[in-house]
Structure 1
């Protein structure tokens, strides 16, 4: 039997954390739907009694994700929202246990449509307010495209200044990979405030 590799992709590493964070019945957010893989994963994790809000600004992302969810009979527990993640506070009114970001661009699509520092920081600010105590914001940061390093720097500047009495911030990344390997940042909300 072939052993699974856990340290090859930032998304796989993220799932090692998410397995401990997300429980059946939770409400969660996919802030950057893309091709819908995270949305599908989150819908499976929250189970029949949970719910997923999933955001993207591209219609092709909505269509692709809707097909995936319907095929797996998961579409009833997900709301697909054609809007930017910076507007999540207009769509999500309940406390959530986890919010997942994959920053960059939609793979196999137009690389000129990317997440941007100003809207991402606004979305992270909303995320921190939506989190219930001990909820987690997970941010996978891809930097190998134009504007990617600016967004990473903006995210790092923001999270470095979060009050440690309110949040714990963990950084995880590949140190021996070339070509701007992705980084993972996890923010856990400690208490109500």
Structure 2
């Protein structure tokens, strides 16, 4: 994976700045690459909760984790990311990652949506510990991607600066609505 790809960039920030052996959430499991990273960070004592609404995502992620010997570190949950607060307590999570859009290689008609994505980020911020980190890979395009992008960015801009630091990155020299990496730190 090239370091200039949004997923590689977000993973590098997570790997560098999130504490080890904690509780992590992959809010949009997809094919399991972020889940694998979080399992590596969890080590023997940490734990990962990974969410997706598609059985295909759970199956692909499970195969990847088994191949890597990491399957015992993650709980794969067939549920929407907007329900993550049913599985973790407030201020217990060290890091949360999101990749909005659709499952790579999957049905493009099944994608994250503005309403549930904003709700998931809002709930995720309550779950983060003080000093916790959230990464968001925001893609636009398709039927709902522009609406989702705009609603997420508007919500993030409204977060109180005394409670959260929001850093938005841009691919400044790319055309065709490049993805937007965003990082949020919960102030401690």
- The TM-score bracket by the shorter chain reads over 0.9
Once structures 1 and 2 are overlaid, which stretch shifts more, 15-24 or 28-37? Answer: 15-24
Shift of the alpha carbon at 1:23?
2.7
After TM superposition, the structure 1 stretch with the greater mean CA deviation from structure 2, 82-91 or 15-24, is 15-24
Distance 2:142 2:105 in 1: 14
**Structure 1 regions of 5+ residues with no counterpart?**
none
Question: 1:79 maps to which residue?
Answer: 75
From 137, 145, 148, the counterpart of 1:148: 145
Q: CA deviation at 1:25?
A: 1.1
TM-score (structure 2 length as normaliser): 0.96
Matches within 5 A, 1:16-165: 16-93=12-89, 95-165=92-162
C-alpha distance in structure 1 between counterparts of 2:48 and 2:117, whole Å: 19
The CA RMSD over aligned residues, in Å, is 1.3
Between the aligned partners of 1:137 and 1:179, the Cα distance in structure 2 is 26
Once the two structures are TM-superposed, the CA of residue 6 in structure 1 deviates from its matched residue by: 2.4
TM-score of the aligned structures, taking structure 1 as reference length: 0.93
Structure 2, unaligned stretches of length 5 or more? none
The answer (yes or no) to whether the contact 2:11–2:34 under 8 Å persists in 1 is: no
- 1:15 correspondence with 2:8: no
